[in-house]
Amino acid sequence: MWRMLELDVSSCAGSEDKAIRNLKDAVRLFLEEAEKIGTQEQILEEASYSNGKQKLAPPKVISVQRMSLLLPLRHA
Strand intervals (E) in the chain = 2-4, 9-11, 50-51, 56-57
Q: Where are the domains of the chain?
A: 2-52
pLDDT of 53: 72
Cα–Cα nearest to 7, from 17, 64, 29: 29
Model confidence pLDDT, tens digit, residues 1-26: 555 557 788 888 999 899 989 999 99
Instruction: Tell me the CA end-to-end span of the chain in Å, nearest whole number.
Output: 22
Cα–Cα nearest to 62, from 48, 45, 43: 48
Specify whether the CB–CB gap between 12 and 3 falls below 8 A.
no
Confidence (pTM): 0.64
Name residue 33's amino acid.
Answer: E
